[in-house]
Chain A
């Protein structure tokens, strides 16, 4: 019977699809499913004021969970707001960009959320008013596969809920 010939071939990588343009509509609202934009942004006790004027989110460098100086200032302002508005609780979401495995990004997002939580608690916000959750790379805000989008996705979002502490 015939010998089976053995031919060495290289497996060619699959060609990449062309890179698409980023959607830079700037309209991200996090993934929070809280009460939405309750109240007017001109009311300093409103969720809208917190989200827009104080800033509900902090961005992180690649692979990092350390707060930047700018991020630190945002979280300090969040702490002051939470201290002044003690009816609110918050879930701090940690997110990662798509450059990483699902598991690692879940853990990385948790680090980011914890960094924000720790600073809030260090400023006197009661820890029982705060929870953290990581979404890893499951909830991207921006969908292009470029640094402009990745930078927006490496974030924490402090999502407020009015009412009872847990």
Chain B
């Protein structure tokens, strides 16, 4: 199969002429992301300036990807090109702030693109129109022409970051299970794509059921469960080469629900033996499995805290599935979910402060978040079947699986802001389930 590793070297440097230190988010142009709904910030991103012959298309396309990223957050509203009074014909020319003020563009993004062979260079600036000044310094990225989308995402990440003060998440990927066929004959295969659905590639064929892929901390490997042997077992797959190997294959047992430790060295997973499911940890290179729980109840869906010291997981030891936290070495576990209903698939946020989970209550499913001590539970979604949250690398957005009911029910990927705003379907060809968001690339 095609080599997946992006053959992309990104050079990142401030312009020499603007090498003074960036002002640390001191400008007035700022979106404070709160739990309420905010009025999206109006901005303009004219086509980037094509600085070499033959770069016109990429210059236009990159502006569209930048805009799609920003608009997709629900925090920004683009003022369309047809409303623009000024045009940007030279990257270095002074900005006519009055023309952008007149159309109420609070932020303006300008950029220049040059192409030499398959090398692509993009530079950009962000302006606070009403303050009449640049926001931070211009930046320049170098890469290859086939990586132009990634470079556009990097620009958008930088803009997002400057205006919100949060880390970005656009230059990221999602590994998931692509689904086709009817509900009682569903074909599943692993697939990977950019976070926005572009550059879809398949990592396995559909000859065996595959479930719940999870990225390594560096995004180069994926853990998942496959029925390749006829029995569910955990595999690790190299994203670049699509080479895979079974991680845990002990006859008479099944293993599933794997997840990497934050240092990428070990894997925690469920192992079922004699009908009983417990949590185990093992080195990614293989070797002995260490048992972390030892109860007759079901223990599954483990997820590490970002510092690797704790594991949140799901257990029905109390009689119904609930969330618990224990040391990463096992031992006593503390229950953290006490609301009505059943809780499952907890996932620790990259910031460490929240746990996202699936909740089932009164015949409905929800994606929700709570603090790590179980307080401040908030449900972000409600539907016939929502499950399996995964965090964007900046901890602001959650992607999950939504399945519709009935004989023609299908699975699709959705995302929602951690505030509960901006629920939307992720554009993917065909059905999809079990998304896992990569770290920022």
Contacts and interface: CB of A to CB of B under 8 A. Distances in A.
Interface of A: 1-2, 4-9, 11, 13-14, 16-23, 65, 91, 98-104, 106-108, 110-111, 113-115, 117-118, 131-135, 138-145
30 contacts: A4-B31, A4-B32, A4-B39, A4-B41, A6-B39, A7-B36, A9-B421, A13-B381, A16-B405, A18-B406, A19-B406, A91-B230, A101-B344, A103-B212, A103-B257, A103-B300, A104-B298, A104-B344, A106-B254, A106-B256, A106-B257, A106-B270, A110-B276, A111-B276, A114-B274, A133-B254, A141-B184, A142-B184, A144-B407, A145-B384
B267 to A, nearest CB: 15
Given A20-B405, A103-B314, 14 more contacts: A1-B131, A2-B130, A19-B406, A101-B345, A103-B257, A103-B300, A104-B301, A104-B316, A104-B321, A107-B298, A131-B231, A131-B252, A133-B231, A133-B232
A80 B232 CA distance: 29
Interface range for B = 35 or more
A145 B405 contact: yes
A156 to B, nearest CB: 11
A113 B252 CA distance: 12
Contact of B270 (A13, A65, A103, A115): A103
A104 B211 contact: no
B98 interface: no
B49 to A, nearest CB: 27
Most chain B CB inside 10 Å of its own CB: which residue of A1, A6, A18, A140: A1
Contacts of B183: 140, 143
Given A1-B131, A101-B358, A133-B254, A140 B406 contact: no
The 9 closest A-B pairs by CB, nearest first: A114-B275, A20-B406, A145-B405, A107-B277, A101-B344, A1-B130, A143-B407, A107-B298, A13-B382
Contacts of B287: none
B184 A143 contact: yes
A110 B434 CA distance: 21
A103 B270 CA distance: 9
B300 A113 contact: no
B423 interface: yes
B383 A16 contact: yes
Chain B interface main SS type: loop
Given A4-B31, A132-B275, A107 B300 contact: yes
A114 B36 CA distance: 49
Interface in B406-441: 406-409, 416, 420-421, 423, 434
A17 B254 contact: no
A143 B381 contact: no
A73 to B, nearest CB: 21
Contacts, number: 158
A97 B330 CA distance: 31
A149 B259 CA distance: 33
Chain A interface main SS type: loop
Given A19-B405, A102-B211, A104-B314, A113 B275 contact: yes
B209 interface: yes
Contact of B272 (A7, A102, A107): A107
A108 B130 contact: no
Nearest to B420: A11
A17 B404 contact: yes
A132 B232 CA distance: 11
Contacts of A99: 360, 363
Interface string B38-53: 1101000000000000
Contacts of B274: 114
A5 B32 CA distance: 11
Contacts of A21: 407
Nearest to B320: A63
A6 B36 contact: yes
Interface in B369-397: 380-385, 387-388
B403 interface: yes
A5 B41 CA distance: 10
B421 A106 contact: no
